[in-house]
Structure 1
Amino acid sequence: MATMLSILSLVLGLLSFQAIAVPTPFHPRDVSPALPNQRALQNEIGRSLSKKAALYFPGQPEYKNLTTRWAENISPGFFVTVEVGTEDDVATTVKFARKYNIDFLAISRGHGTTKTLSTVKNGIQINLRQLQEITVAADGKTATLGGGVYNDNVVNALHAKGKSSGSGAAGCVGLVGAGLGGGYGRYEGFYGLVLDNIIDMNVIMADGSKKFVSATSNPDLYWAMRGAGHNFGIVTKLTYRIHDEISPTWYLNTMIFKQDKIQPVFKQLNKLIANGTMPARVINYALFAFNPNISTTEPVITINIFYVGSAQDAKPYVQPFLDLKPVSTRSFTTSYPDIFYAAGTGLNDFVCQEPIGSAYLYPMGLQTYNVPVIAQLFQLYADKVKSNPDFSGSNVMLEGYSLGAVKAVDPASTAFAHRDDNILVGFLPRWTPGANLEREAEEWGTKARTLVQSGTNGRPLSAYVNYAHGDEPLEAVYGYEPWRLARLRKLKKRYDPDFKFRFYNPIR
Structure 2
Amino acid sequence: MTMRWLRSTLVAAAAWSMAAAQDAEFTETPSEYAIGTLARAPGCSLADFCRLARNDLSGQTEIYYPDSPEFEEATTRWSNVGAPIANITVVPAVESDVTKLVRIANNCNIPFLAYNGRHGALTTLGQMTWGIAIDLRSLSGVTISSDGKTATVLGGTNSKVLIDALWSAGKQAVTGTCECVSYMGPGLGGGHGWLQGHHGLIADQWVSAKIVTADGQLRTINSNSDLWWAVKGAGHNFGIVTSVTIKIFPIVKTNWAITTLMYTGDKVQALYQAANDHLLKNGTQPFYIIQEGVTAVDTTYTAPFIALGPISVSNNTGTYKDVSSWVGISLDGPPCQKTGAANPRFPLYLEQYNPSAMATLYNAFKDGTNSSSPFATSLFMFEGYSMQGVKAINAASTAYAFRENNLLTAPLVQYTPGSAALDAQAKAFGNQLRNILHAGSGRSQKHTYVNYAYGDETKQETYGHESWRSSKLLQLKDKYDPQRVFNFYAPAA
Is the pair's TM-score, using the shorter chain for normalization, greater than 0.5?
Answer: yes
Q: Deviations over 1:32-90 (max 9, x none)?
A: 245222xx444321121112210001010000001000012242110100001111111
Aligned position for 1:221: 227
The counterpart of 1:35, out of the listed 26, 38, 45, is: 45
Structure 2 residue corresponding to 1:87, chosen from 95, 98, 123: 95
490-499 or 469-478: bigger deviation: 469-478
Q: What SS does the corresponding residue of 2:329 show, helix, strand or coil?
A: coil
Corresponding residue to 2:147 among 139, 148, 163: 139
| Maintained 8 Å contact 1:7/1:343 | no
- Residue aligning to 1:308: 292
| Pairing 1:85-484 to 2, within 5 Å after superposition | 85-216=93-224, 219-279=225-285, 283=286, 303-312=287-296, 314-355=298-339, 357-386=341-370, 388-434=372-418, 437-484=422-469
C-alpha distance after superposition, 1:259-295 (max 9, x if no partner): 011111111111234353323xxx3xxxxxxxxxxxx
TM-score (norm 1): 0.88
- Summarize deviations over 1:170-193 as a string: whole Å, max 9, x none: 101111121010110111000110
Runs of 4+, deviation exceeding 6 Å: none
Among the aligned pairs, what percent are the same residue? Answer: 35
Question: C-alpha distance in 2, partners of 1:232/1:429?
Answer: 29
Partner of 1:64: 72
Distance in 2, Cα, partners of 1:471 & 1:418: 18
Deviation at 1:356, TM superposition (A): 5.4
Q: Which blocks of at least 5 consecutive residues in structure 1 are unaligned?
A: 18-29, 284-302
Aligned counterpart for 1:486 among listed residues 471, 474, 492: 471
**1 CA distance for matches of 2:182 and 2:296?**
33
Rounded Cα–Cα distance in structure 2 between residues aligned with 1:318 and 1:505: 39
CA contact (8 A) 1:163 1:242 kept: yes
* Residue pair 2:382, 2:407 contacting (<8 A) in 1 also: yes
Structure number with greater CO (CA < 8 Å, separation at least 6) is 1
CA distance in 1, matches of 2:331, 2:211: 28
- Please give the alpha-carbon distance, in whole angstroms, between the structure 2 residues aligned to 1:270 and 1:355: 36
Distance 1:342 1:398 in 2: 16
Contact 2:42–2:108 (CA under 8 A) maintained in structure 1: yes
Kindly tell me: are residues 382 and 396 of structure 1, through their superposed partners in 2, closer, same or farther at Cα, counting changes over 3 Å?
Answer: same
1:102 maps to amino acid: I
CA contact (8 A) 1:4 1:344 kept: no
Offset from partner CA, 1:347-398 (integer Å, 9 cap, x none): 1223211135112110111001011001101100111112743211111111
Say whether the 8 Å CA contact 1:225–1:232 is kept in structure 2: yes
| Alignment correspondent of 2:30 | none
Conserved? CA contact 1:149–1:174, under 8 Å: yes
How many corresponding residue pairs? 468
Counterpart contact for 2:63–2:90, Cα < 8 Å:
yes
Distance in structure 1 (CA, Å) of the matches to 2:88 and 2:267? 52
Distance 1:397 1:458 in 2: 20
> 1:11, 1:170 within 8 Å by CA — same for their partners in 2?
yes
